[in-house]
Amino acid sequence: CSTVLFSRSCYVWFCFSLFDICICSYSVPAGESEDHASNRKQRSKLSLQMYLQCSRSFHGTLTFRHLHLLDQVYYGQAKCMLQRVGTWNFDIFLFDRLTNGESLVCLTLELFCKYGLIELFGLDPLRLHSFLVRIQEGYRSRNPYHNSLHAADVTQAMYCYLQEPKLSESLTSWDILLALLAAATHDLEHPGVNQNFLLKNDHFLASLYQNSVLENHHWKSALSHLRESGLLSHLPIEDRHRMEERLGSLILATDISRQNEFLSRFKAHLDRKDLNMSSPEHRQFILQMALKCADICNPCRPNSLSTCWSHCVTKEFFQQGDVERAHRHDVSPLCDRHSNSVAIIQKSFISYVVEPLFVQWARFCDTPLSHCMLGYMKQNKKYWSNAGQEDLMDNAQTTCCKVLPRGT
């Protein structure tokens, strides 16, 4: 009995230690004394103790549905934001600041709790948290675009799509688990350059995979973290293998070079009206399309958010172009800062990639959300068209006046 009591005491102590590491990395605000800061930390520990229901743990009745990562004192605003996590104008940039860069971990944990996945699949909350931290750290923070913030944004978008009636009324718990895992890991360990760059430079990743080099790397990295964390180790091996294959199917679908392949297939289904959401194969295909939409949904966000993402992705493109130029290689399309601009890139991207996909998605889900996304997309397309015209006028005036062009 004493051994069991000791082990449970260690478990609760570990929970508090985990909380100290993840939440209490707290800098004292200007004007606040160290003693007052210490009191705030102590109150935070007590509030976590309330969430963990410490007294129940000694009787083996710990209820994980009340275990929240976010603390009332430090992350009150972030918790308020999470109440609106299913809204399309969710500001992931603000949420990331409020969570001190932990947006992917906090948001994904919240969604797991919303769907009751921890209880449904018997997941260990500490292993789940450890897995999500590993995933977040697996994204390279120095990437301007393909980082953990992008993964959090895609996960939030995927949640919005999962709430659509056609999906929410037909998806299984396995489908939802896979959709959230795929969204969170779909760009894991992205190097910040595209596939052509890896091929041209004989990168070791290019020698590992014959096609979809980056997407295969993301998938295999996700599997590595999933297995090392032991998150699903308690499930039957057949279920785990099936889940891993389905996870790969979702992540591989985000390969932009296969866009026309998936779009043609999607359009054909819609024309024939033969999509059957009771079919596992059709549900998997719809999840693939949902992840593809979530991955490139930035132009369908409100302009204030969309513009931020546009500058982030362009910065990453231009960084690759600078490296290629420095090594005397041909600069990849869209990566030359001397012949491209944010407006030029965005107009092409919206017209030839985003719009065709979201028009077909709106045919499948004829809902207020779809109309909202199309509306924002049209506004952003017009915005970048006007911005492009202003750039041309500025360049013309600069040339006539023989003034050196402005730096970026």
Catalytic residues: 146
Residue 150 assigned ligand-binding role? yes
Residue 147 assigned ligand-binding role? yes
φ/ψ (deg, to 5) at 107: -70, -45
Residue 100 assigned ligand-binding role? no
Let me know: does 12 contact 54? Beta carbons within 8 Å: yes
The Cα–Cα gap between 13 and 381 comes to 53
**Structure tokens belonging to residue 371:** 């109309």
Let me know: does 247 contact 180? Beta carbons within 8 Å: no
Query: SS3 letters for 140-182?
Result: CCCCCCCCHHHHHHHHHHHHHHHCCHHHHCCCCHHHHHHHHHH
The Cα–Cα gap between 222 and 225 comes to 5
Give the residue among 154, 210, 162 at the shortest CA–CA distance from 182.
154
Let me know: does 98 contact 77? Beta carbons within 8 Å: yes
Residue 295 assigned ligand-binding role? yes
Q: Give the type of residue at 162.
A: L
Residue 330 assigned ligand-binding role? no
The Cα–Cα gap between 343 and 249 comes to 33
Following DSSP, what letter does each residue of 4-56 receive, concatenated? Answer: HHHHHHHHHHHHHHHHHHHT---PPPTT--HHHHHHHHHHHHHHHHHHHTHHH
**Structure tokens belonging to residue 324:** 């290629």
Let me know: does 317 contact 324? Beta carbons within 8 Å: no
Long-range Cβ pairs for the range 404-408 (8 Å, 24+): 408/337
Let me know: does 215 contact 251? Beta carbons within 8 Å: yes
Residue 146 assigned ligand-binding role? yes
Residue 77 assigned ligand-binding role? no
Binding site as annotated, residues = 146-150, 186-187, 295, 346
Binding site as annotated, residues for AMP = 146-150, 187, 295, 346
Binding site as annotated, residues for Zn(2+) = 150, 186-187, 295
